[in-house]
Amino acid sequence: MTHRIAVIAGDGIGQEVMPEGLRALEAAANRFKLDLAFTHFDFGNCDYYLAHGKMLPEDWFEQLKDFDAIFFGAVGWPEKVPDHISLWGSLLQFRRRFDQYINLRPCRLMAGVKSPLANRKPGDVDFYVVRENTEGEYSSVGGKMYEGTEREIVIQETVMSRFGIDRVLKYAFELAQKRPRRKLTSATKSNGIAITMPYWDERVDAMAKNYPDVSTDKYHIDILTANFVLHPDWFDVVVGSNLFGDILSDLGPACTGTIGIAPSANINPEGTFPSLFEPVHGSAPDIAGKGVANPIGQIWSGAMMLEHFGYKAAADHMVNAIEAVLAQANPLVITRDLGGQGTTLTLSDAIVSAICR
């Protein structure tokens, strides 16, 4: 079976880490006899915007909808195009129109990576953040009145639906069910946000009844962020609304060392539309063009894509290769963000040969 993958590298270091992600995927495909077919697209970046006045062509939906997945780099170059235009004009269009309602981010402390948290060792941090990715606080309902006057008013409404909450909870409970600890933590703020968040809690309680084998707890988002830092070992699967999930899914990976290794998946679980796999980091204009970007976030995202296709062994093999190279912590191989003097290529070469071994 051929898996058709749309490749969109985007801006900045997206262009540098994408070839390495593809190289690692090709090595894994070769080893596990997988048939991956890549098609490259040159839209979804700021140069395309400067040339065409938009981030994507009119028919982007038609062009991409029949792919099995989208492998994405990073988008954004604030000196050329304001971030809200580049992000809303590309990535957020994919997430919404392809109904990628799950944003999934593993947070795992690996050997050889120094955690900013004192006295934490590999194994202490190993959880997933599941973020609702299509509604909630990130809504386009609202507006501005009396602009530029003393009476200026802005309103942006949070939109939560039973349909939207239940489907993300179902995914999170099922994920927890597959993990040894079978524990789900819900992010809330029902003490302060007194309409939508009690409703979120109510849906969590209702859904928990379907999963008696999963233990459930909840924390208000303020203390939850503190506990990510103080007690990361408490967590297994953490589920949150769009905003809370966004915050937790940056904080979680940050607790495991560098943003350069963190992967993410934007998933349409039913497979009606392609899911999108991308590193957590952005286009990093400060280091772009220097060949020093850490390629692991992109490579690990590729592993998540293989797992999504059902190739768990191949995905695990890629992650093991990453772990093995990190554990060696060879300063000539690992990149600067990991404390080494290596480059994108030295690190990628080491991982690709570990995948081939």
Q: Which is nearer to ligand NAI, 32 or 88 (CB)?
A: 88
Among 287, 303, 321, 350, binds ligand NAI (CB under 6 A): 287
Which SS3 state, helix, strand or coil, does residue 153 take? strand
Q: Note whether 245 and 131 are within 8 A (CB).
A: yes
Question: How far is residue 125's CA from residue 127's CA, in Å, rounded to a whole number?
Answer: 6
337 binds, among Mg ion, ligand NAI, none (CB under 5 to 8 A by kind): ligand NAI
Nearer to Mg ion, 173 or 300 (CB): 300
One of 102, 293, 318, 352 touching ligand NAI (CB under 6 A):
293
Q: In this chain, which of 22, 172, 197, 284 binds ligand NAI, going by CB under 6 A?
A: 284
CB 268 within 8 A of CB 274: yes
| Angstrom distance (rounded) from CA 279 to CA 322 | 14
Query: What would the two tokens of residue 204 be?
Result: 């969590």
**Partner whose binding site includes residue 283, from Mg ion, ligand NAI, none (CB under 5 to 8 Å by kind):** ligand NAI
CB of 32 to ligand NAI, least distance (A): 26
- Scanning residues 240 to 279, which ones bind Mg ion (CB under 5 A)? 246, 250
Q: Which residues contact 286 (CB under 8 A, 6 or more apart)?
A: none
- Indicate whether 333 belongs to the interface with ligand NAI (CB under 6 A): no
Q: Where are the alpha helices (DSSP H) in 74-161?
A: 83-88, 91-97
User: Token digits for 278?
Assistant: 């991308």
Taking the CA of residue 1 as centre, how many other CA atoms within 13 Å lie in the half-sphere pointing to its CB? Answer: 5
Report how far residue 110's alpha carbon sits from residue 107's, in angstroms, rounded to the nearest whole number: 9
For residue 79, state whether it binds ligand NAI (rule: CB under 6 A). no
337 binds ligand NAI (CB under 6 A): yes
Minimum distance from CB of 30 to ligand NAI (Å)? Answer: 25
Q: Which residues bind Mg ion (CB under 5 A)?
A: 246, 250
Q: Which residues bind ligand NAI (CB under 6 A)?
A: 13, 74-78, 83, 87, 91, 259-260, 278, 281-287, 293-294, 297, 337
